[in-house]
Amino acid sequence: MNADVNLSQGLAKDDPGLRAKVEDFLYLEADLLDEWRIEEWFALFAEGATYEIPPTGEDDADPATSLFYIADDYVRLRERVVRLTKKEAHSEFPRSRQRHMISNVRITAMVAGVAEVTCNFITYRAKRGVVDTYYGKHHYRIDCTASPWKIKSKRSVLGMDMLYPGKLTIII
């Protein structure tokens, strides 16, 4: 995910090969999370980016008026990452093991080099013999004009009807 950047200029969403590049980018993201390379994961985000998880059942909610699970601006996201690197983030000490699965990748729009991408996800988190499962749909805006590509926003809409695992202590 580096030299391909220039290709993005003038790309349309239906261009052959674009989906593969987007998938590669998302697989890289998933791998960084699986491996707890959380600071490198944060580096995938553009300055000013947002990361959101709306309340279940309110996919289109606005964090200014609805109570979100996560509504990070760039600063809060950075602080989330800083926190997760500490032993005192007790819910992730010792660290859980995770696997991020992605499928159904669709490029729904490409506007001025920014790809709007959706994909389904399942994230497994295992700790102390308990496996938590999170699933739903990610909505990304990825700046394909940046080198390397940068995430401008990520919104993870949970498919569950309530938060069965009880907490969101990892990046899903």
Q: Which is nearer to other proteins, 13 or 78 (CB)?
A: 78
State how beta strands 70-72 and 45-53 pair. Answer: antiparallel
Shortest spacing between CB 106 and other proteins, in angstroms = 26
Under the binding rule (CB under 8 A), the answer on residue 124 touching other proteins is no
How many CA atoms lie within 13 Å of 154's alpha carbon, on the beta-carbon side? 23
**131 in contact with other proteins (CB under 8 A):** no
* Cβ atoms of 1 and 142 closer than 8 Å: no
CB of 134 to other proteins, least distance (A): 11
- To other proteins, the closest distance from the beta carbon of 121 in angstroms equals 16
Q: Does 39 bind other proteins (CB under 8 A)?
A: no
Among 37, 86, 99, 106, binds other proteins (CB under 8 A): 86
Give dist(CA 93, CA 119) in Å, integer: 30
Contacts of 154 (CB under 8 A, 6+ apart): 45, 49, 50, 51, 52, 138, 139, 140
Q: Is 165 in the site for other proteins (CB under 8 A)?
A: yes
Our measurement of the distance from residue 31's CA atom to the centroid of its chain's CA atoms, rounded to an integer in Å, reads: 12
| Calculated CA dihedral for residues 40, 47, 66, 111, nearest 10 degrees | -100
Q: Which stretch in 21-29, 35-43, 51-59, 103-111 sits in contact with other proteins by CB under 8 A? A: 51-59
Cβ distance to other proteins smaller for residue 113 or 165: 165
Of 25, 28, 19, 27, the closest CA to residue 106 belongs to 19
Quote the least distance from Cβ 8 to other proteins, whole Å.
Answer: 32
* Binding-site member from 80, 95, 137, 139 for other proteins (CB under 8 A): 80
- What are the residues binding other proteins (CB under 8 A)? 53, 55, 57-58, 61, 63-71, 75-76, 79-80, 82-83, 86, 88-91, 128, 130, 162-169
